[in-house]
Each structure stands twice: as C-alpha cells, then as structure tokens.
Structure 1
Amino acid sequence: MSGGIADVTPARLSLLNGGSVASATLTEGLAIDFAQLLAAAVPDIGAARLDRMRAQAATGITRRMALAAELLLEANVDLAQLQGHVSDTVRGWACFAIAAQTGATLPQQLTAMRPLADDGHFGVREWAWLALRPHLAASLDEAISLLAPWTADASERLRRFACEALRPRGVWCAHIAQLKETPQLALPLLQPLRADPAVYVQDSLANWLNDAAKSQPDWVRSLCAQWLQESPNAATARICKRAQRSLA
C-alpha cells in the first residue's frame, strides 16, 4: 500500500478536514488542510485568522501546529473543548496552546499536558512532548526533577514521555547541546527505565542513548556495560543492543 499524501482518498480527506475522524497514519495527518479543520473545529474562529492559517499552508507542520495554537489562544478558545475533540490534530493544537500560554510555570504546563501525553493516539503523544520540549530544555535541571516521578508511572506512555521529551538530538526538533555533551545529567530519567517491560519505552530509551553515543560513545558503552551487569534481563539486553547500534 502506497503511503503518499496523494493516496489519501477525497472522501477520507473530507472526513479528516471536517474533524470527524482521527488520522490513522502520519501521512493522513500531513494531508490535512489546517484552515478547513480549524473552521470545522471552531466555527467562530473568524475569517482573518483562517486567512492567516491559509497563508502558512506551505510551511512545515510543526510551525503550522504552533500557529494554530496561537490563533486559538487569541480567540480565547476553551482548551478543554479541544482536548476532547475527535481529531487528533485538534488535540495536538491543544498541546501547543498549553505550551504557549503565558505566565504558566513548568509544573503547571506538565500537569496540563499530562492527559495529552497519555493520549490514546500516537500523534497526540508526539505533539505533547514536541510542544513542551523547548520549555523543558530551557529549564533542564527543573525539568529532569519534575519528570523523574513519571518514570515510575503505571502508564507506559507517561514513562516514555519522560524519556522522549529530552532526547539529546530528537526528531523534528532542536538538539539539546547540554545533554549531547553531558548526558549523565539525565540519569534520573534513564536509570529507572533500564529494565522497563514496555517495548514502547525500551525503544525510546535506546534511541536516547543512541543520540548520546554520537557525541559521548564511551559514556554510553560504559553505562550499558554497567546496566547489563546490574540488570541481566531481556529488557535491558534489548535496550543496550539498540542503544549501541551506531557504535563500531
């Protein structure tokens, strides 16, 4: 099955743009016309704001997500209404709106983001950490302290958020130079997950360490050796193997 935007059928695209269904794939999410969806989700958003959205139709999706959030905040839209929307993209806008609210502290932002970080849709969970990552990176010590308890949460989605949000290199986002150079700062997040039973969390942790290995390979080798000795089980073995996949 082809995965291009052109392969999204007109009927399916109409449902996506109307906000009556969630996207099933990343391709479907990329195919959505944000102005159409915004008009459907918030009918009184205003023509001028829709025009601003249309003017940015050709920009990257992350920038468009942030713009949608800006327009929603300008219009004083109830974010709780957005968080319960059928469309995962609309819930993603809520993620960016939470991150963009002025005056909110990092603990307040994390509390507000928590249900979205635990959302049932894969896309919303990605938007949750992407939206909040700049704030987390800007207050790294505080962020690590606040996220550490999440590594013990019953939800594998929240455990994964605690790791994924601060990957040194990450995907679709700016790198965190401090963690590229001194990845050991994140040990309060990494150490508790070294034998996590969930593949979802294992993959995130392995990718975190693979990021770190590109600038601090010896540290990653040493940490994996320590973990394999302290925690000789299948989960840790899988994490360490994947973590070192780019190392010679």
Structure 2
Amino acid sequence: MNEIKRKGARSTKDIPASILEQLNKGEIETANLVEWLAVNQVKLLENVLKESDRMEYLEPILTDIRNLKKQTVNTINEAIGTGILAESILNNDSDILSIISRHKSDLVRCWSAYVIGKNAALSIEEILEQIQFLAADKHFGVREISWLAVRSSILNNLDKSLEILSKWTLNEDENIKRFATEATRPRGVWCEHIDTLKKQPELGLKILESLKSDSSKYVQDSVGNWLNDASKTRPDFVKDLCGKWQIESPTKETAYIVKKALRTIEKS
C-alpha cells in the first residue's frame, strides 16, 4: 500500500532529529504512522505559508487550532485544511489548492483534501471529481483523509454519491476502487455513521456487487468491512448476500470477503 522506500522509526523517540526536521519543513513524506503522528503540523504550516508567501493566513488558522475542543493529528489536520479554504476564499486565492495538493509532504496534501471536501460552493459531482486524484495518492495517510474529508458531503448527497462511486469500482486503480467502499461504509472508522445504509444496506449493492471478487486484498478488506458494518444492524441482508455470492462467485477472493463480512455474525 505504502510505496515509500525509507523505513520509519518504531517509536517517536527513535525518529532521528534530521528526519523530524525534514518532516516539519515538508521536505519529505512520513514513512509510517509513527512519523505521521510525530509531525508538528503548526511548524509545517508555517514553513508552507512562508515558502508560498502567504504568512497572513497563519494567525487565523492558529486561532482555529487553539479553539479546538480536542487537539489530535486529525482534528488539527482538518482545522488547517478548512482554515486554508476560508483564507483562500477571503483572499480570492485560486492557486493555493494546486500548491498544497501537489506538495512533497503527505500531511500538506491531506490539508488539500479538506479544501476540496469542505467547499460549500462545490456540488457533490465536483467534490468527488476533484478528490479522485487524492484518493489514488501513493501515501496511505492521504488516501484515508481523502475519504474522511468528503464523508459528510457523501452523507448529505447519498443517492448521487452512490451512483458516482459505483462507476469508480470499474477503475483499474485499487485505491480508487477502495475509496468507493471505504467512503460509504455504514459505520466506518473515526467518522459519522450513515444511518440510511445501516438500515438499508441494499442501497450499496451497486458498489459492492462489482467488487465481490476483486483481485486486490486492499479492496477485499474494505468490502468485507463494509458488510461487517452492515451486519450489526441488518444481519439478514449480509447473510443472504454472502450466501448468494458463494454460489455465484466460488472464488478465493469472494470466500475471503465473505469470511470477513460474517465475522461479527459468527461470534454472536
């Protein structure tokens, strides 16, 4: 999944000072979750704004960060992204998005996901069209934040989103296919639940059906997790669908998905 060659440290204290400095300057990407959690995003923001000659954006965004009820990597990440969006609108700045969305730093590219996902001026079609290249990013962190950043927009435009994302399942890129399932999981991880899909998971069939025997384990895991989410409110649907898939698609890929999908049901 993560194509970065450099091997990251196993704990924060083991990150070399030179690596941490480069991470905070935005000169390199994080190599693993330990590094991702260790980056000082405020320092990183200062460096990005300095190099792009936008230091006037800094104080309003720092105020947003200070006002957070809980400061975590994800809440700070979102505050910076939405802060950059607000400042770009105030300053009629159409260039900042292209600067940060192609930045060397994965965390900076994460900010750009919120600039897209939280832009109320964009339709759901435009949001998903613009986020797709971040959904295909080579870095695991950017891929995760890309679906988190548009989750509320998908929730508020569910029918249209499912229609658009069903076409993404035909894409050759496993990351784009995986986005379609991960972004629409009924429960998901660290995100708002989609109550409609918890009650009516059959609405997701237009996405799930075309991935029931996908060759990518990355995609298989996501499909299995989607159905496991659904099994907590609609075990009948998941059992029936898995039974149908086992007959229609007797492949090792489908068997793997089915096993993952039924894990909560089989425990009870």
By the TM > 0.5 criterion, same fold? yes
* Partner Cα separation in structure 2 for residue 161 and residue 4 of structure 1: 29
Equivalent position SS for 1:103: coil
Within-5 A mapping of 1:1-248: 3-43=10-50, 44-46=54-56, 47-49=58-60, 51-52=62-63, 55=66, 59-76=71-88, 78-248=96-266
Aligned residues: 248
Q: CA deviation at 1:56?
A: 5.8
Q: CA deviation at 1:52?
A: 2.2
Q: CA deviation at 1:79?
A: 0.5
Equivalent position SS for 1:238: helix
* Partner Cα separation in structure 2 for residue 54 and residue 227 of structure 1: 47
Identify if the C-alpha distance between structure 1 residues 177 and 3 changes in structure 2 by more than 3 Å, giving closer, same or farther: farther
Contact in 2 for aligned 1:95/1:116 (Cα 8 Å): yes
Identify if the C-alpha distance between structure 1 residues 2 and 25 changes in structure 2 by more than 3 Å, giving closer, same or farther: closer
* Partner Cα separation in structure 2 for residue 50 and residue 133 of structure 1: 22
One-letter amino acid of the counterpart of residue 24, structure 2:
N
One-letter amino acid of the counterpart of residue 200, structure 2:
T
Q: Which 5+ residue runs of structure 2 have no aligned equivalent?
A: 1-7
User: Hey, what does 2:4 align to over in structure 1?
Assistant: none
Q: CA deviation at 1:160?
A: 0.5
Residues 171-230 of structure 1, C-alpha deviations (whole Å, 9 max, x = no match): 111111111111111100111100101111000000101111111112111100100100
Q: CA deviation at 1:75?
A: 3.1
Contact in 1 for aligned 2:197/2:204 (Cα 8 Å): yes
Contact in 1 for aligned 2:169/2:180 (Cα 8 Å): yes
Contact in 1 for aligned 2:9/2:34 (Cα 8 Å): no
* Partner Cα separation in structure 1 for residue 37 and residue 45 of structure 2: 15
Contact in 1 for aligned 2:49/2:55 (Cα 8 Å): yes
Q: CA deviation at 1:245?
A: 1.4
Q: CA deviation at 1:236?
A: 0.5
* Partner Cα separation in structure 1 for residue 38 and residue 191 of structure 2: 21
* Partner Cα separation in structure 1 for residue 13 and residue 194 of structure 2: 35
Percent identical residues:
36
Contact in 1 for aligned 2:110/2:141 (Cα 8 Å): yes
One-letter amino acid of the counterpart of residue 197, structure 1:
S
Equivalent position SS for 2:265: coil
Q: CA deviation at 1:235?
A: 0.7
Q: CA deviation at 1:50?
A: 5.5
| TM-score of the superposed pair, with normalisation by structure 1 | 0.94
* Partner Cα separation in structure 2 for residue 75 and residue 144 of structure 1: 31
Equivalent position SS for 1:75: helix
Q: CA deviation at 1:27?
A: 2.0
* Partner Cα separation in structure 1 for residue 195 and residue 83 of structure 2: 31
Q: Which 5+ residue runs of structure 1 have no aligned equivalent?
A: none
* Partner Cα separation in structure 2 for residue 134 and residue 61 of structure 1: 19
- Which 4+ stretches in 1 moved above 4 angstroms? none
Aligned Cα root-mean-square deviation (Å): 1.8
One-letter amino acid of the counterpart of residue 5, structure 1:
T
